[in-house]
Structure 1
Amino acid sequence: MDKVDFKRSLPGFRAKQGRFDLIEVPDSQYLMINGHGDPNTSPDFASALTSLYPLAYGLKFFSKLELGRDYVVPPLEGLWWADDMTTFTSARDKSAWDFTLMLFVPDWLDGEHVDGVVETVRSKGSAPRLGEIRFETLREGTCVQTLHIGPFDDEGPVLERMHTEVIPEAGMKMSGDHHEIYLSDFRRTAPEKLRTILRQPVTPQSDLA
């Protein structure tokens, strides 16, 4: 049985450092859970992780055993927003951040599959916020994205350039939440080696006039 690795097969999981690409992202389905605050200290962040992964791995094994389709559980992703977006660039006030943590779900799995696996995971009691996880389609469309290598706290200048230079010069405006894709396992990777895709949905300036 071939095992699909979406990091290799889907263009949205690829980016290059120092280059800002304008890409079209297809509608994609995810397991999602919300939280608030500094990801380094927020109990929301830790409990979101310990709830998402049992369900994601349950889906993977269901797909392999019941459907005959195996895949690598994709990288963790996050949507981030705040009332003042400078908290992501210059101020870096993490206590003001809201987030949605997400794990991509292959398109051959549907809501009925998810519901069935939820019951299996619930019976094991291994996901403290299982009831808060939702299965939804994310529609981003046109996006600008780049690869950041290094500590998360060094993202500020890259995002500042993306927001104030790259996007306006392309005749675009930001139209959705800041999106990050964590290609590295930040629990096991040295900060200077972290690889993170930074993505921003955009729309033509004329559409927001």
Structure 2
Amino acid sequence: MTKTDFRKTLDSYRARSGQLRVLEVPPLRYVMVDGRGDPNSSPEFTAAVEALYPVAYKLKFASKQDLGRDYVVMPLEGLWWSEQMETFTSARDKSRWNWTIMSMVPDWITGEMFEAAVSAAAVKNPAVPDRVRLETLDEGRCVQTLHIGPFDDEAETLARMHQEFIPESGLAMTGRHHEIYLNDFRRTAPARLRTILRQPVEAISRSEV
């Protein structure tokens, strides 16, 4: 049985350090959990990860067993937003961040498979049914790059993306800041972390220039 690794087949999971590029991200399905606060110190963030991954793995095993279609469980991703975007850059304040953590699943995963995975995961974690959902995210045109190093060093790259590259490209920010964690930050030295930074954008009309 062939095992699909979407990190190798989807262009939206490719990025280079030091290179900002514009790309079209197709609609993708994710298992998601919402929360708020500093991910480094908030028990809510840890609880969210503990609710998300059991469902993601049960979907993988169900796909392999019931459909004969195996795939690599995708890395953790996060949508981040705040009432003031400066809390991500010049006035960095993680306590004011809202977030959705998520993991991509193939489009052949059905609602029935998701409900079965949630029910099975709830046996060990009763909070799962109230927290985890299946949703399609359609980001469309985006700007992204690869950041290598600690999360706290992202601010400079984000400032260049938000304040220089995007407006100079005739674009404006829309949607939510998106991060894709290509390695497990719980087991990886901060200096070796590889994170795709993505920002949905739209073209600025002539009347807005």
Establish whether TM, by shorter chain, passes 0.5.
yes
1:134 aligned residue: 133
- Aligned counterparts of 1:208 and 1:35: Cα–Cα separation in 2: 37
How far apart are 1:128 and its partner, in Å? 3.4
1:11 aligned residue: 11
How far apart are 1:207 and its partner, in Å? 8.6
1:182 aligned residue: 181
How far apart are 1:129 and its partner, in Å? 3.6
Q: What SS class does the counterpart of residue 78 from structure 1 fall into?
A: strand
1:152 aligned residue: 151
Q: How do 1:74-93 and structure 2 match up within 5 A?
A: 74-93=74-93
Q: What SS class does the counterpart of residue 32 from structure 2 fall into?
A: strand
Structure 1 residues 2 and 130: CA distance shift in structure 2, 3 A: same
Structure 1 residues 88 and 174: CA distance shift in structure 2, 3 A: same
Supply the RMSD in Å over aligned alpha carbons: 1.3
1:43 aligned residue: 43
Q: Is the 8 A contact 2:33 2:48 kept in 1?
A: yes
1:53 aligned residue: 53
1:109 aligned residue: 109
- Aligned counterparts of 1:76 and 1:6: Cα–Cα separation in 2: 13
How far apart are 1:43 and its partner, in Å? 1.4
- Aligned counterparts of 1:84 and 1:23: Cα–Cα separation in 2: 26
How far apart are 1:130 and its partner, in Å? 3.5
For structure 2, which runs of at least 5 residues remain unmatched after alignment?
A: none
Q: What SS class does the counterpart of residue 125 from structure 1 fall into?
A: coil
Q: Is the 8 A contact 2:119 2:129 kept in 1?
A: no
- Quick check: 192-201 or 106-115, which moved more? 106-115
Q: What SS class does the counterpart of residue 168 from structure 1 fall into?
A: helix
Q: How do 1:16-27 and structure 2 match up within 5 A?
A: 16-27=16-27
Q: Is the 8 A contact 1:29 1:106 kept in 2?
A: yes
- Aligned counterparts of 1:34 and 1:11: Cα–Cα separation in 2: 26
Q: TM-score, normalised by structure 2?
A: 0.96
1:66 aligned residue: 66
How far apart are 1:127 and its partner, in Å? 5.9
Identity %: 57
Q: Is the 8 A contact 1:4 1:72 kept in 2?
A: yes
Specify the code of the residue in structure 2 equivalent to 1:199.
R
Structure 1 residues 207 and 116: CA distance shift in structure 2, 3 A: farther
Structure 1 residues 129 and 23: CA distance shift in structure 2, 3 A: same
- Quick check: 189-198 or 111-120, which moved more? 111-120
How far apart are 1:87 and its partner, in Å? 0.6
2:31 aligned residue: 31
For residues 144-164 of structure 1, the C-alpha deviation after alignment (integer angstroms, 9 at most, x for no partner) is: 000000000000000000000
- Aligned counterparts of 2:128 and 2:13: Cα–Cα separation in 1: 27
Structure 1 residues 127 and 17: CA distance shift in structure 2, 3 A: farther
Specify the code of the residue in structure 2 equivalent to 1:101.
I
- Aligned counterparts of 1:83 and 1:181: Cα–Cα separation in 2: 22
For structure 1, which runs of at least 5 residues remain unmatched after alignment?
A: none
Q: Is the 8 A contact 2:79 2:101 kept in 1?
A: yes
For residues 105-139 of structure 1, the C-alpha deviation after alignment (integer angstroms, 9 at most, x for no partner) is: 101112121112212222x2236344211111101
